[in-house]
Amino acid sequence: MSADGHAAVVAAPSLAARRKRSRLLAWIGHLRHSPAGIFGAAIVLTWSLLALFAPWIAPYPPNKIDPALVANPYPSAANWLGVDHLGRDILSRLIWGARTVLTVAPAAVIGAAVLGTILGLLAGYKGGVVDSVIMRVGDTLLAFPKIILYLIIIARFGASAFNIIAVITVTQAPIIARIVRAVTLDVKNRDYVAAARMRGESLRFILLSEILPNARGPLIVDFFLRLGYTVIAIGVLGFLGVGLPPPDPDWGSMIKETYGMIFVWPHMTIIPALAVSSLVIGFNFLATGLREAADDA
Amino acid sequence: MSRYLTRQLVNIIVTLLAVSFLVFALNELTPGDVARKLLGPYATQDQVDRLYREMGLDRSVFTRYAEWLWNAVHGDLGQSIVYRRPVAEVLWDRLGNTLLLAAICFAVIVPFSILLGVLAGMRERGLVDRGISVFSSICASIPEFAMGVFLLAIFVVWLGVLPGTSPLTRSGQWPIWMQFVLPVMVVTLYDAGYLISMIRASMVEVMRQPFIRTAVLKGMGFRQVVMRHAMRNALITPFTVILLQLNYLVSGLVVVEMLFAYPGFGRMMLEAALAKDIAVVEAGTLVAVSVTMLTQLFGDLGYMKLDPRIRV
């Protein structure tokens, strides 16, 4: 009898975990019914695979300069998408550029999500001074027009992948903190949270295991929308000349470098512009699909 | 009401102080650069040091911040290093240009997105809704610099019907008003994508309400239901969002200004930040943050006026 009871107690968490996993799978399954979601997922998947296997897929080294090719830089059998003003293969630079943006953007958004989630949970659950301080600092950061904050910080600390990730993390965390805080305020007085408190669970357990799962839906949708914005932000920084340092390929910088030559060789500018747009469209449609799936599930 | 206003105004002043000190501290971590930049690479270290002291840069950050603040409150924003003119002159010049562009964009974006948002939201998941939703989410997904490239390629390079730069001086055969067409188009398509989906969502919400069904059931024409009952209510929630576009339009125009060489506020901030022209960066940031906070305040006030259920 007592052995049975013990077994049931041990089995409970794994059952809960399994149920949670199947709910997540069901959600992803619902994505099938959303054409927008499938379309977005396909684009994101394609770019991710290209980025992952860049060294094997890219036909040329991305920084290989060949001045002879500039005489006829248009798309050809040897260079499918043509070459840029220095004779570098555009397709190879796009593929390697995908690698850059698909590393920097998720790193920045994950950083913001982790920081924002922790701050939002603490602010919502603790209330009082902790809440006011966190939200006050967040509001001050949000009052800054984002692009100006980026400019000031990057002009000050220099443009590097790490600094760009840091800037995006710091500026986006307050928004995520707001989302998580709202959910926390909503559920912190529910009975199961009170029960956990009375069982003497640690603060970490209450925040992460009892409260956080409630915010999972909005957070996942927000995650993909935010990835889209972040790809735009990285592109803007590159276009303004404060992005990732050359010569490594970065889509925004590719546009900036060739923009002045658009009257002569429009393809050098238009192709990377199409690449950025397609990736952002992919992330946004994927987010839309996930939201529709969440409504249906 | 007056207590709410006082609290908000105090809030704005405190934030402005915090922001200005933050910008000051960030830029002052390497003050030596400023003297070197002014004198150029061929000046001796001795000369650099002397200018450094003359400019008072050897004093503590707090002393210099206090001095800057004192002068700023008295209307003296200092001298720009990049433009070699008083900051106030450059600032008002550039801000004027950007406000002009922003005002035109705003005047185009708002009616355009209300029209499409209402059309899409009045029959949820209908054909019109699908079409407009796809259009708006694609527009919102194309970054401004990419949209600028596409439109430039079509209208300037290919068709040759519009000027490719907007320096606001009469150059070549293009009249000045035509220089606004492309920048406004780029901003409108990008920004409206977002607004349309907000307005659509709100419209969908309202169309599900019982009072709409009542209006339809009592035999009112669909057009009248939409115009007289639904639209008014559907525009309350997006009102704040619409107003908030104003502050995007003031500081977010930097990309468009770079695309079309438009002499605006955003480009000034970019040039100043890159050259560590701290006086310009400080003043510009304060202006931008004030615009953000004031639009937010007006947004809240307007919201309360529109929706009597909301009280402070």
Minimum CA–CA partner of B150 in chain A: A270
A148 touches B285 (CB < 8 A): yes
- Tell me which DSSP letter residue B29 carries: T
Per-residue pLDDT of chain B (312 residues; tens, 9 = 90+): 788 889 888 988 888 888 888 888 877 655 556 667 667 777 777 877 777 777 666 677 788 888 888 888 887 888 887 788 888 888 998 999 999 999 999 999 999 999 999 999 888 888 999 999 889 989 989 999 999 999 999 999 999 888 888 888 876 678 888 889 999 999 999 988 888 988 998 999 888 889 888 888 988 888 888 888 888 888 887 887 787 787 778 777 899 999 999 999 989 988 888 887 888 888 898 888 888 888 888 888 887 887 777 655
**The one-letter amino acid at B197:** S
Determine the pLDDT at residue A296.
67
Which chain B residues are within 8 Å of A43, Cβ to Cβ?
none
- Please state whether the predicted TM-score (pTM) of the whole model is above 0.80: yes
| C-alpha span between A237 and A115 (Å, rounded) | 23
Tell me if ipTM is over 0.90. Answer: no
Q: Following CA atoms A119, A102, B257, A84 in sequence, which dihedral angle do they give, to the nearest 10 degrees?
A: 160
Say whether residue B196 is in contact with chain A using an 8 A CB cutoff: no
Query: Is the Cβ–Cβ distance between A272 and B143 less than 8 Å?
Result: no
- At A11 the pLDDT is 43
How confident is residue A9, by pLDDT bands cut at 50, 70 and 90? Answer: very low
So what's the pLDDT on residue B171? Answer: 66
Categorise residue B79: left if φ over 0, alpha if ψ from -120 to 50, beta otherwise. beta
Contact call for A236 and B142, based on CB within 8 A: no
Percent of chain A with pLDDT over 70: 91
Question: Can you give the pLDDT at residue A145?
Answer: 79
Report d(CA A238, CA A236) in Å as an integer: 5
CA of A180 to nearest chain B CA: how many angstroms apart? 21
Interface with chain B: mutation pick from A239, A257, A271, A278, highest number of B CBs within 10 Å: A239
Neighboring chain A residues of B276 at a CB cutoff of 8 Å? 155-156
* CA dist A174 → A113, A119, A150, A216 (Å): 9, 8, 15, 17
**Residue A3: band (very low, low, confident or very high) from pLDDT cuts 50, 70, 90:** very low
| Chain A residues with beta carbon closer than 8 angstroms to that of B150 | 270, 273
pLDDT surpasses 70 at A16: no
Residue pairs spanning A and B at CB distance below 8 A: 119
B43: its two tokens = 């000046």
Q: Do A284 and B137 touch (CB under 8 A)?
A: yes
Residue A13 has pLDDT above 60, yes or no: no
Mean confidence (pLDDT) of chain A: 85
User: Does the beta-carbon distance from A280 to B19 stay under 8 Å?
Assistant: no
Q: How far is A150 from chain B (nearest CA, A)?
A: 10
Question: CA of A190, closest CA in chain B: separation in Å?
Answer: 27
Select from A185, A184, A250, A231 the least CA-distant residue to A211: A184
Q: Does residue B306 sit at the A interface (CB-CB below 8 Å)?
A: no
- Whether residue B81 lies within 8 A of chain A, CB to CB, comes out as no
User: Which residues between 124 and 183 in chain B have a beta carbon less than 8 angstroms from any beta carbon of chain A?
Assistant: 134, 137-138, 140-146, 149-150, 152-153, 156-157, 164
Q: What is the pLDDT of residues A52-105, one digit of tens each?
A: 998 999 888 888 888 888 888 888 888 888 888 888 899 999 999 999 999 999
Is the pLDDT assigned to residue A116 strictly greater than 90?
yes
| Least confidently predicted of A121-130, A153-162, B87-96 | A153-162
Chain B residues closer than 8 Å to A242 by CB = 270, 274
